[in-house]
Amino acid sequence: MSTTSPREINKVLIANRGEIAVRLIRGLKEMGIATVAVYSDVDREALHVLCADEAVPIGPAPAVESYLVGEKIIAAALRCGAQAIHPGYGFLSENGAFCDAVEAAGLVFIGPTAESMAVMGDKLSARRKMRTSGVPVVPGTDEAVTDPGKAQEIADQIGYPVLLKASAGGGGKGMRIVNAPQEMASALRETRGEAGAAFGNDAIFVEKYITAPKHIEVQVLGDGRGHAIHLFERECSVQRRHQKVIEECPSPSLTPALREEICAAAVRTAEAISYRGAGTVEFILAPDGSFFFLEMNTRLQVEHPVTEMVVGVDLVRAMVEVARGGGIIYRQEDLRQRGWALEFRIYAEDPGRNFAPSIGKIATLNIAGGPGVRLDSGVYEGFAVPIHYDPMLAKLIVWGETRDLALARSRRVLRESVLHGVTHNLPFHLWAIDQPSFRDGSYTTHFVADHFDPSTWLPGLADDARTALLQAAVLCEAGRRGNGGDANPAQPPVGNWHRNALRAMTRNT
């Protein structure tokens, strides 16, 4: 149902958890809208629950028994008198059946229609739609392939390497590179098996594998009636396992002409499906400057804050106003990119163990502030990170007037920040932004694979070992200062080891 008459929205249920639930609650509060959180058994004391005006339990920890059960969420919304549901990202955000059920219950779904989700949720149907809308797609097939001989024929035409891709894939899963004809049969069999098991749909297609590309995406807003605007691009080429870890806005790789072209293609994409609300059109940029449609994410994305910082907009407010039927609150001609923003996803994971997720209780959390710094967090000191969900704890977003200034500020903030209790990737970010290809902006999606060596990763040590090292650093520093420095040897530094270690380390880096 497309929203054409004004809908009353003064209470919203957030069908999500973690940092995105907190971000949504904050945005809604600023609009004077009451908020309802939902939570599983392990999230009883989660930050989003503490922030919301009301909170409703929805079942056991596994998401399939709580955050993914649409009926429980809709029942909670009706019971609380909420008029609308915001799904955030992940969980039910791109589930057309949920969207339909929300609207059938007389509630507003703050997001696109189920129809848009259906077209874009399936990579093959999205490719077909884009071809007819004049948006360039990666060379390859528009139909599912089951026969290895046929797949080889297509690969011969487009040239190796090719990528076998699950039509229903997502989150970087369901993809396999094929470098030579003899690899095709087994690769096809394995990708189909994996896709069937993971997505309940084993449709696979073949597309050209673009070597050393960049991931560029464009934020769009649609009014649901055929008009859309863009809010410029983001670059998200720093990825591990095809998943993003650092994003920036603008992209250091676009000329003004290319930016205009890619943003126009994104608007065409959104308008072709009369898109409603906030969405992202993802492209792959080849080294020769040609770009191709990858997919459209029909939801608010993790990395939306870099756009908010640079373009000076509030995408959550924009989504709510579209859902109310008021149309798009921004005019294309008023929008500009101002300055530069970087987002660092803070994951409970160990870069030294191939980014494996880690768990634990957050013992110390002190992410530095200062001008141009935004923290979107879903955790607090004392919170036990549950194993059941995505290991992203928070996002650190840093803005500066230029890319160099944003990088200098990021370095300062990352060095000052302290997180103990779980193994995390803050040191990875510090490492990444000082790599030559990151500094000059030439990095590609191969950045981590090409430059990161887990076997020599010292900060990947377990927390206890790291603490011991920090304490040793403090004692060394105290000893150094004791020999002619101004430290008072009568006062052992151990009580302040944490602060002193930070000082000592900052001085040396």
Name residues contacting ligand ADP, limited to 214-253 (CB under 6 A): 215, 239, 242
Binding segment for ligand ADP (CB under 6 A), chosen from 126-134, 205-213, 271-279, 368-376, is: 205-213
Q: Which tokens is 448 given?
A: 């981590």
Instruction: Give me the least distance between CB of 148 and ligand ADP, in Å please.
Output: 19
Q: Which is nearer to ligand ADP, 428 or 447 (CB)?
A: 447
299 is catalytic: yes
Q: Please identify which residue in 9, 33, 138, 313 interacts with ligand ADP, judged by CB under 6 A.
A: 138
Q: Give the list of residues 6+ apart from residue 502 with CB closer than 8 angstroms, or none.
A: 416, 418
Instruction: Give me the least distance between CB of 458 and ligand ADP, in Å please.
Output: 28
User: In degrees to the nearest 10, what's the CA dihedral of 240, 446, 163, 282?
Assistant: 70
3-state secondary structure of 342: strand
Is the sign of the CA dihedral 304, 310, 311, 312 positive or negative?
positive
For the stretch 457-466, what's the b/e string if a residue is b when 16 or more beta carbons lie within 10 angstroms of its beta carbon? bebbeebeeb
Q: Does 295 bind ligand ADP (CB under 6 A)?
A: yes
At residue 239, what are phi and psi to the nearest 5 degrees? Answer: -135, 150
Instruction: Give me the least distance between CB of 207 and ligand ADP, in Å please.
Output: 5
Bridge partners, 392 (sequence order): 347
Q: Please identify which residue in 70, 213, 351, 372 interacts with ligand ADP, judged by CB under 6 A.
A: 213
Q: Are the C-beta atoms of 422 and 428 separated by less than 8 Å? A: no
Instruction: Give me the least distance between CB of 336 and ligand ADP, in Å please.
Output: 26
Site string for ligand ADP, 432-461 (x = CB under 6 A): -------------x----------------
Q: Does 210 bind ligand ADP (CB under 6 A)?
A: yes
> d(Cα 493, Cα 500) in Å, to the nearest integer?
8
Q: Does 282 bind ligand ADP (CB under 6 A)?
A: yes
Q: SS3 breakdown of the chain: % helix, strand, coil, rounded to 5?
A: 40, 25, 35
Binding segment for ligand ADP (CB under 6 A), chosen from 56-64, 169-177, 245-253, 487-495, is: 169-177
Burial class of 396 by CB neighbour count within 10 A (0 to 12, 13 to 18, 19+): buried
Instruction: Give me the least distance between CB of 214 and ligand ADP, in Å please.
Output: 9
Q: Are the C-beta atoms of 205 and 167 separated by less than 8 Å? A: yes
Measure CA 432 to chain center. 17
Q: Please identify which residue in 106, 134, 172, 492 interacts with ligand ADP, judged by CB under 6 A.
A: 172
* From 299, 324, 403, 409, the catalytic residue: 299
Site string for ligand ADP, 392-431 (x = CB under 6 A): ----------------------------------------
Q: Which is nearer to ligand ADP, 35 or 167 (CB)?
A: 167
Q: Are the C-beta atoms of 279 and 218 separated by less than 8 Å? A: no
Instruction: Give me the least distance between CB of 444 and ligand ADP, in Å please.
Output: 9
Q: Which tokens is 196 given?
A: 């069937």
> d(Cα 258, Cα 214) in Å, to the nearest integer?
13
Element (H, E) at 398: strand 392-400
Instruction: Give me the least distance between CB of 437 and ligand ADP, in Å please.
Output: 15
Asked if residue 6 has a cis previous peptide bond (ω within 30° of 0), the answer is no
Q: Does 266 bind ligand ADP (CB under 6 A)?
A: no
Q: Does 170 bind ligand ADP (CB under 6 A)?
A: yes
Going from the C-alpha of 222 to that of each of 4, 235, 271, 336, the distances in angstroms are 13, 21, 7, 18
Kindly report the CA angle at 355 between 352 and 356, in degrees rounded to 5?
105
Instruction: Give me the least distance between CB of 93 and ligand ADP, in Å please.
Output: 14
Q: Please identify which residue in 91, 109, 209, 452 interacts with ligand ADP, judged by CB under 6 A.
A: 209
Instruction: Give me the least distance between CB of 69 and ligand ADP, in Å please.
Output: 24
Instruction: Note the helical H segments in 181-255.
Output: 184-199
Q: Which is nearer to ligand ADP, 96 or 169 (CB)?
A: 169
Name residues contacting ligand ADP, limited to 334-353 (CB under 6 A): none
Number of residues engaging ligand ADP in binding (CB under 6 A)? 20
Q: Which is nearer to ligand ADP, 190 or 404 (CB)?
A: 190
3-state secondary structure of 506: helix
Q: Which tokens is 429 given?
A: 């970010």
> d(Cα 322, Cα 225) in Å, to the nearest integer?
11
Residue 329's identity, in one-letter code, is: I
Q: Does 284 bind ligand ADP (CB under 6 A)?
A: yes
Q: Does 207 bind ligand ADP (CB under 6 A)?
A: yes
Q: Which is nearer to ligand ADP, 330 or 447 (CB)?
A: 447
Q: Which is nearer to ligand ADP, 140 or 352 (CB)?
A: 140
Binding segment for ligand ADP (CB under 6 A), chosen from 168-176, 265-273, 311-319, 423-431, is: 168-176
Q: Does 163 bind ligand ADP (CB under 6 A)?
A: yes
Q: Which residues are catalytic?
A: 299
Q: Give the binding site for ligand ADP (CB under 6 A).
A: 138, 163, 169-173, 207-210, 213, 215, 239, 242, 282, 284, 294-295, 445
